[in-house]
Structure 1
Amino acid sequence: MPLPTALFWERRDVPGAEHALLADRTGLYAHGTALAVDPVPYACHYELQTDQDWVTTRFDVRAEGAGWARGVRLELAAGRWRITASEQGDLDAALVAAGHARAGLPGSEDPDLLYGAFDVDLGGSPLTNTLPIRRLGLLTAESGVAHRLSVAWVLVPSLEVVQADQIYTPLGGDRVRYASETFSADLTLDDEGFVRDYPGLATRR
């Protein structure tokens, strides 16, 4: 069935883009493609499903480039994550040839480290910032009150899944500050909580 909404972001940090098709009447269903040239040229295809409260229930992602492909599925049920991963070819060879360090393995050796995480964060994807914003109702939340959360961070292009601590702080109007241990950015959102501008990362077109 065709999906009613299309969003497109142009990357600002490296040459690249993201295109997502989605429906968000009862939670979020989305599928999309992210492209970038760094650290090696890749295409990343994903499918995302949340429940009606915007808690992620399933996230399928596949990344591919010259000579390699990786896939990961994350499923959340009863508070625990199940993660399955696949790998073909040799991403490390492509990274080393481009002058980068080797990648971690796709997936996670210990999904229990993700206990208490209700959102996925796909590296370089503005779409996944919307998940905690909508789940926590940050568009109408009290300005200046920080919300600290744990997320399942999917690194790209390795598709290694790690636990990450993040902070979202409503700033009033259409802005929410996103922060991690080493980075912060003031996101500009539309009326539905989807990112219009992510300074240093991407702008919607």
Structure 2
Amino acid sequence: MATLPKALLWQRTDTTGTDLALFDDRRGLIARGVATAIDPIPYLCRYELVTDETWATAHLDVTVEGAGWLRSLRLERAAGRWRATTAEQGDLDRVLISEGHAPAGLPGTDEPDRLHDAIDIDLAGAPLPNTLPIRRLGLLDAPPGTTHALTMAWVLVPSLEVLPSAQTYRVVDESTIRFDLEGFGADLAVDKEGYVLTYPGLAERQA
């Protein structure tokens, strides 16, 4: 496994947790990350995200585990089509119900054609994937007001259920991108390379 030359660390602000991403962005993105959180139950999330040179997602591998359970997902995009491969050990639903939460959806998707319009992924709780459309669409150099309506392959955590998600990215200024998702909105503060510094209500970058 090759080493990766860059690292970013975020502190979650919506719950107790962190997200550390190691990455290489010289030709698209290759990233490996480890995230922790305690909501809705304590879990550890490991992910690998790879794009092509245009920053379009090629594949995402995610493993989420907690006490007595583990789920994994491989989400691949090729020739405009998505494929999801999943595995599960233990019983996440039993743990959620025992803690007073609703059961999780099944990992992956039974209807990959619903993701047909998606080029980017969005991994719940992780700030790094927000950089994908910012870089792919050249939003760092776009004039204020530039807006793109997108469909994302949204991966829920800890269930690893994959859903199509309608999202909008709008340039506010050279360091701020407005992000809107189904009634939720946030002004993302980004650095000169398009990586999130502050995601209001979700995370703050520490390094």
| Category of TM-score, reference length = shorter chain | over 0.9
1:2 is aligned to 3
2:83 is aligned to 82
Query: Could you tell me which amino acid in structure 1 is paired with residue 138 of structure 2?
Result: G
| 1:51 has 2:45 as partner | no
Unaligned runs of 5+ in 2: none
2:27 is aligned to 26
| 1:138 has 2:144 as partner | no
2:98 is aligned to 97
| 1:147 has 2:160 as partner | no
State the alpha-carbon separation in 1 of the partners of residues 198 and 97 from structure 2.
Answer: 33
Query: Could you tell me which amino acid in structure 2 is paired with residue 123 of structure 1?
Result: A
| Identity among equivalent pairs (%) | 57
2:38 is aligned to 37
Query: Could you tell me which amino acid in structure 1 is paired with residue 63 of structure 2?
Result: R
1:159 is aligned to 160
Give the SS at the match of 2:198: strand
1:98-157 per-residue CA deviation (whole Å, 9 max, x = no partner) reads 111000000000111000100010001000111111111111112112210000000000
Unaligned runs of 5+ in 1: none
Give the SS at the match of 1:203: strand
1:18-68 per-residue CA deviation (whole Å, 9 max, x = no partner) reads 000000010000000111000000000000100000000010000000110
Give the SS at the match of 2:139: coil
TM-score for the superposition, normalised by structure 1: 0.99
1:126 is aligned to 127
2:109 is aligned to 108
Query: Could you tell me which amino acid in structure 2 is paired with residue 14 of structure 1?
Result: T
TM-score for the superposition, normalised by structure 2: 0.98
Query: Could you tell me which amino acid in structure 2 is paired with residue 79 of structure 1?
Result: G
How much does 1:182 deviate? 2.0
Give the SS at the match of 1:139: helix
How much does 1:175 deviate? 0.4
Query: Could you tell me which amino acid in structure 2 is paired with residue 168 of structure 1?
Result: Y
Give the SS at the match of 2:153: strand
Aligned pair count reads: 205
Give the SS at the match of 1:3: coil
State the alpha-carbon separation in 2 of the partners of residues 77 and 2 from structure 1.
Answer: 26
How much does 1:90 deviate? 0.4
State the alpha-carbon separation in 1 of the partners of residues 167 and 23 from structure 2.
Answer: 24
